[in-house]
Structure 1
Amino acid sequence: MRIERTELADVVVLVPEPFRDERGLFTRTFDANEFDAHLGIEGAAARFVQDSQSRSVRGVIRGMHGRGGRGEAKLVRCAHGAVYDVLVDIRPDSPTFGARQGFRLDDADFHHLYVPPGFLHGFQALTEVADVCYRIDRPHDPTEDLGVAYDDPELAIDWPLPVGPVSARDARAGSWATLLATLTPTH
């Protein structure tokens, strides 16, 4: 498994290296020792406490979601189908604050995203059905939910497909400007 840096500070892509033959394939999708060594944090992998999965139909957007308080770290991968996954850095002290980056995650190359605390996250299903798996470092607390509209003009995310069904929560999400007014530097 390789681990690659991204344009966003502290975000990495885990790149499994599958063995393929006439039977199909085998791949290691996660290695705690390599993950900890790359992050330079002993025991970082052991901090993941919850696994969740969503299933979406083509065009569905889920996002843009984040967590307040101390945030949440997560590993995200697409187990079936393909998604366009987007991250936005909301850490006021970060060198990439306000920056966004999109990634294709699919069941062909098995890439995972490590998303550290302090990011908005969302994705759009690119295939008829897409299953996204999340490994999260602390239990969900709905009182800390943050959200920005997936179509906020200031974020200007270029979703690749026409937008499909959207949850009521995502349809009423706030603006980027409103979220910015609530963020404070950690120093």
Structure 2
Amino acid sequence: MRVQTTPLRDVLLFLPTPHRDDRGFFTRTFDTEIFDAAIAEHTTLSTRAADFRQDSQSRSAAGVLRGLHGRGGRGEAKLVRCARGAVQDVLVDTRTESPTFGEWFDVVLDDVECAHLFVPPGFLHGFLTLGETADVCYRIDRPHEPSEDVGVRWDDADLAIRWRGTPNIVSDRDAAARSWRDLVAGG
């Protein structure tokens, strides 16, 4: 498994090597030693593999956009992968002390490359389904607490995220999310 840094501070991609043959493929989806070594070498964080507490999965139809979602308080760390289909996965750095504050990064996660995206605490996260159906799996470092949910509109003009398609399904919650400016202002 290779580890790749990204333009956003502390965000990493874990790139496994699927072993393919006429039956399909086999790949390692998580390795605690590789994860811990990569976090220690490439980030300023103290997150460790043993910190993860919950695995979740979503299934999304074609054109579904989920996000941009985050967590208030101490935030949450998560490891995200697309187990079926493909998504454009987007992160926005909300950490005011970070040199990449307010910047966004996107990557295609799919069931071919099997990459995993490490999302540190302090980021907004969202994705757009690029095919017919996508299953996205999340490994999260703490249980969900709805009172700490944070959201910003997926089409916020100040963020100017370049989505790789036009969403045709956005939840009422995501459509009504606040602006980036309101989040930054503490609103």
Give aligned pairs, total: 183
Q: 1: CA distance between counterparts of 2:60 and 2:165?
A: 14
TM-score, with length taken from structure 1: 0.94
Deviation at 1:20, TM superposition (A): 1.5
**Equivalent residue number for residue 34 of structure 2:** 34
| C-alpha contact 2:39 2:47 (8 A) present in aligned 1 | no
**Equivalent residue number for residue 89 of structure 1:** 93
Q: Deviations over 1:39-92 (max 9, x none)?
A: 127871011101111111111100000000000000000000000000000000
5+ unaligned residues in a row in structure 2: which ranges?
none
Question: Once superposed, what is the RMSD of the aligned Cα atoms?
Answer: 1.4
**Equivalent residue number for residue 105 of structure 1:** 109
1:76 and 2:80 correspond = yes
Secondary structure at the counterpart of residue 170 of structure 2: coil
Q: 2: CA distance between counterparts of 1:176 and 1:31?
A: 35
Residue identity opposite 2:23 in structure 1: R
5+ unaligned residues in a row in structure 1: which ranges?
none
Larger mean Cα displacement after TM superposition, 15-24 or 144-153: 15-24
**Equivalent residue number for residue 19 of structure 1:** 19
Taking the TM superposition and a 5 Å limit, the aligned residue runs for 1:15-164 are 15-40=15-40, 44-164=48-168
TM-score, with length taken from structure 2: 0.94
Q: 2: CA distance between counterparts of 1:86 and 1:103?
A: 7
Q: 2: CA distance between counterparts of 1:42 and 1:85?
A: 24
Q: 1: CA distance between counterparts of 2:21 and 2:135?
A: 25
Secondary structure at the counterpart of residue 114 of structure 1: strand
| C-alpha contact 1:64 1:150 (8 A) present in aligned 2 | yes
Deviation at 1:22, TM superposition (A): 2.3
| C-alpha contact 2:70 2:122 (8 A) present in aligned 1 | yes
Percent identity between the aligned chains?
61
| C-alpha contact 2:84 2:133 (8 A) present in aligned 1 | yes
Residue identity opposite 2:17 in structure 1: E
Q: 2: CA distance between counterparts of 1:88 and 1:42?
A: 20
| C-alpha contact 1:58 1:127 (8 A) present in aligned 2 | yes
